[in-house]
Structure 1
Amino acid sequence: MSFLTTRLSAVTEGVRIALDAVRSNKVRAGLTILGIAVGVFVVVSMSAAVHGINESVAKDFASTGPTTFFVSRYPISFENCDGSENSCKWLRNPPLRSGEIAALRRLSTVEAVGERLDWSAKVRFRSQELPSAGVEGYSAEWTTISAPEVYPGRAFTQAEARTGARVAVISTLMAERLFGEVDPIGRTIAMNDVPFEVIGVFKDNSSFLSGGERPKAVVPVTALVRYIGARESNIGLAVKPRESVTPALQRDLAIDDVTATLRGLRGARPSQESSFAIITQDKLFETYNQIFGLFFLVMIALSGVGLIVGGVGVVAIMMISVTERTREIGVRKALGATRATILWQFLVEAATLTGIGGAIGLFVGWIGSLLIRNFTPINASIPPLAVVVALGASAVTGILFGMLPASRAARLDPVEALRYE
């Protein structure tokens, strides 16, 4: 019990001395705290943003199912491409044709093949206008593959999709901005001055990777091409394999069938590369990691710089503190204080300084995450692990950089220290 009491007393005294140092040396202590706060702020803010992005991407993939894969005219790659066909061979890839899509739908390993085409248009309802809203064209398989939450209203039917009916299912965000409190079902909106009837409202689960949440309308892909002028050559496919007790194997079988069918229809020789791209969710995750790997490196670099700046400040302010309190250290040693006691006291003081900076950085980072959540498409939230890492990193920085001055204080000769003026 006496050991715990002694340690608690040492911690309390170290904290008190650190707070006194902050009050008496505001500039030095302020610079130290600022460096630590910047490092922690960067860690917390970036962690909140990345956590929000990860959650939205996971929801986006979950909505399409883990085995769904995509067929695109162009691959997802980061190769050196200057826009010419020599450096971008995939520019010569032909678009996906209706006959090819029909052939894929007949495959025994495939449950559904959905067409998708992204576009944008000016959308207006009475005096309310969205200059550049997202408009997505889908085939009737949209509800089978993505399973959107449509309420109120309904999704378009197979007949409406086939004939290119001018009907639209709008996102909740578009409904709020165009209609406010007015019921949108049955109302007519103008997309590039072409009238479309609103038949449903859906909850948009788009992730940051797919452009984030924005006012959006979904229409039959045929209507998007016919009335709004979208280029049919950019149509992509989402392929949902049939359910199986071994989903991964079923997905691979479906990919093999789709690949063989398209290559056969296009007359590709065995030695030729495919003139289309098969994109699995694993590939999308890989691309996602490549995109955000740079952000992670920047986060680590910036937080590291902030912590180093704060650590250098800890060394400076603690060295000054040791010099100013040399006589006090001599008195304590003369009264029986051990080297470990002196070392512990100064380490607690250093950790207190960096802990204050960590707490400030954590608070500012929390404010930053709220701003990111409210003013960007990223649903930022601070994961508990980020809080632990941020505060732990600030405390460890104080201990590591405070070790040198604390060791110097512990090694002082009590006789020489008492003579110090």
Structure 2
Amino acid sequence: MSAFTTRLSAVAEGVRIALDAVRANKVRAGLTILGIAVGVFVVVAISAAIHGINQSVARDFASTGPTTFFVSRYPISFENCDGSDGTCAWLRNPPIRPNEIESLRRLPSIESVGERLDWGTKVKYRERELPSASIEGYSAEWTTISAPEVYPGRAFTSAEARTGARVAVITTLMATRLFDGSDPIGKSVTLNGVPFEVIGVYKDNSSFLSGGERPKAVIPVQSLIRYVGARASGISLAVKPREGVARDIALDDVTATLRGMRGTRPGGESSFAIITQDKLLDTYNSIFGMFFLVMIALSAVGLIVGGVGVVAIMMISVTERTREIGVRKALGATKATILWQFLVEAATLTGIGGAIGLFVGWLGALGIRSFTPIEASIPPMAVVVALGASAVTGILFGMLPASRAARLDPVEALRYE
């Protein structure tokens, strides 16, 4: 018999003994398997959620173009603010003014400057009502920067955006809830009691960052201010450089123009925030980096609980099989053979827990995908890490009882009652 066949036979025997131990000690084995399964489930479920969020974030960034950046009244990170003027100077930042927006549009390095203003209000069509729908106000550059898929119907024109026409482009979800399958084009919905004509329907590319798919209407930003009551002080900008112009050059032009118009002295702090996609990504990574730490901590607790169970159940197994070990040694089994057998048994026990945790984690990923805006999916590496971690846990925690079994004196083992 070859060495490979011998080793394979030892593995098969270790697996069989482990399954027998599970059947003979259901409670102890069940608790051990549960601990491992919980650790693996946490790894798989959180990895699936984070993988889905990462894909969503990448899609959001790609939709606006790699060189597009944003101008806002306030920065996106307020961690150094304690409420005082010294640390919260951004609170005194003035809103972005119309003349500043027009000046930016005239810059030769800039292709388009899109305005955006978010609001929420009641939307109604006949007897159907959405009490707190999301309303987004955009300038005519909306279709240039975000490229929505409007069908049926159309997006509003530059003239409609400039004059503040009462027209609206609604999401498919809002169309479904308000019109229940009938054609919404040309019909009027009321926003905060003011009638708006529906001129188009678009598929909302919902994502985790945007809050997921929800009933939403897009109207000209001037209409949102004039008829719905939104405050113009909340307007932010999306700036798209001309093709062939480096983002940093366009960014410098925008910064110099706004600082000059606001009379900011050289070396003084800018009274506005320029947010690049790099900054957004850094902020995202700093926030969701905590999820990785939580994942590691929770999975480690589960694996340690399962590992302690492995030690307990394997020690009992060694005690119950002391005479058997003595017989095997008397027949020529080496310490390495005994050690290998018990390590295979421990790894099998934790492997069962890993498989169960992987299956439950897959179900969890399906649940996240179905009931949240997160398109959770399990990355292949998460499967490898989860199963590998369960097997390594079995080997590490099974080493103590396995080495004890390997060190048993065959004569004393044969005398054991």
Structure 2 length as normaliser, TM-score? 0.97
How much does 1:180 deviate?
2.6
Match of residue 409 from structure 1: 405
Quote the Cα distance in structure 1 between the aligned partners of 2:326 and 2:73.
78
Match of residue 270 from structure 2: 274
Match of residue 35 from structure 1: 35
Task: Using the TM superposition, name which of 121-130 and 234-243 deviates more.
Answer: 121-130
1:359 is aligned with what amino acid?
Answer: A
What SS class does the counterpart of residue 134 from structure 1 fall into?
strand
What SS class does the counterpart of residue 22 from structure 2 fall into?
helix
How much does 1:338 deviate?
1.4
Match of residue 323 from structure 2: 327
Match of residue 368 from structure 1: 364
Superposition map of 1:247-396 within 5 A: 250-396=246-392
> Do structure 1's residue 92 and structure 2's residue 92 form an aligned pair?
yes
Quote the Cα distance in structure 1 between the aligned partners of 2:76 and 2:385.
34
What SS class does the counterpart of residue 347 from structure 2 fall into?
helix
How much does 1:78 deviate?
3.4
Quote the Cα distance in structure 2 between the aligned partners of 1:215 and 1:7.
62
Contact map agreement 2:206 2:373 (CA 8 A) in 1: no
Contact map agreement 1:33 1:310 (CA 8 A) in 2: yes
Deviations 1:281-330 (A, max 9, x none): 00000110111121111111000111111111111111111111011011
1:291 is aligned with what amino acid?
Answer: I
> Do structure 1's residue 129 and structure 2's residue 125 form an aligned pair?
no
Deviations 1:347-385 (A, max 9, x none): 111011111111111111111112211221211111111
Match of residue 215 from structure 1: 215
How much does 1:186 deviate?
1.6
1:63 is aligned with what amino acid?
Answer: S
Structure 1 length as normaliser, TM-score? 0.97
How much does 1:418 deviate?
0.8
Quote the Cα distance in structure 2 between the aligned partners of 1:386 and 1:183.
45
Contact map agreement 2:63 2:146 (CA 8 A) in 1: yes
Deviations 1:253-289 (A, max 9, x none): 0000000000000011002100000000000001101
Contact map agreement 1:59 1:205 (CA 8 A) in 2: no
Task: Using the TM superposition, name which of 301-310 and 146-155 deviates more.
Answer: 146-155
Contact map agreement 1:170 1:200 (CA 8 A) in 2: yes
Quote the Cα distance in structure 1 between the aligned partners of 2:106 and 2:315.
78
What SS class does the counterpart of residue 87 from structure 2 fall into?
coil
Quote the Cα distance in structure 1 between the aligned partners of 2:126 and 2:337.
77
Task: Using the TM superposition, name which of 400-409 and 205-214 deviates more.
Answer: 205-214
Match of residue 146 from structure 1: 146
How much does 1:412 deviate?
1.1
How much does 1:127 deviate?
2.5
Contact map agreement 2:171 2:217 (CA 8 A) in 1: yes
Task: Using the TM superposition, name which of 167-176 and 207-216 deviates more.
Answer: 207-216
Quote the Cα distance in structure 2 between the aligned partners of 1:340 and 1:393.
23
Distance 1:83 1:137, change over 3 A: farther
Match of residue 46 from structure 2: 46
Contact map agreement 1:209 1:288 (CA 8 A) in 2: no
How much does 1:126 deviate?
2.3
1:412 is aligned with what amino acid?
Answer: L
Equivalenced residues, count: 417
2:269 is aligned with what amino acid?
Answer: E
Match of residue 416 from structure 2: 420
Quote the Cα distance in structure 1 between the aligned partners of 2:83 and 2:186.
45
Quote the Cα distance in structure 1 between the aligned partners of 2:128 and 2:55.
32
How much does 1:174 deviate?
1.6
How much does 1:210 deviate?
2.7
What SS class does the counterpart of residue 298 from structure 2 fall into?
helix
Task: Using the TM superposition, name which of 256-265 and 148-157 deviates more.
Answer: 148-157
Match of residue 167 from structure 2: 167
How much does 1:5 deviate?
1.8
What SS class does the counterpart of residue 197 from structure 1 fall into?
strand
Contact map agreement 1:60 1:206 (CA 8 A) in 2: no
* Structure 1 residue ranges (4+ consecutive) displaced by more than 6 angstroms after TM superposition: none
How much does 1:20 deviate?
0.8
Quote the Cα distance in structure 2 between the aligned partners of 1:49 and 1:27.
32
Contact map agreement 2:73 2:93 (CA 8 A) in 1: yes
How much does 1:79 deviate?
2.1
2:230 is aligned with what amino acid?
Answer: A
2:123 is aligned with what amino acid?
Answer: V
Quote the Cα distance in structure 1 between the aligned partners of 2:45 and 2:169.
35
What SS class does the counterpart of residue 169 from structure 1 fall into?
strand
How much does 1:334 deviate?
1.0
1:297 is aligned with what amino acid?
Answer: L
What SS class does the counterpart of residue 113 from structure 2 fall into?
strand
Deviations 1:379-412 (A, max 9, x none): 1111111111111111111111111111111111
What SS class does the counterpart of residue 285 from structure 1 fall into?
helix
Quote the Cα distance in structure 1 between the aligned partners of 2:298 and 2:119.
37
Quote the Cα distance in structure 2 between the aligned partners of 1:83 and 1:205.
36
Deviations 1:41-74 (A, max 9, x none): 1111111111111111111111000100000000
Q: Name the Cα RMSD after superposition.
A: 1.3
Quote the Cα distance in structure 1 between the aligned partners of 2:58 and 2:180.
30
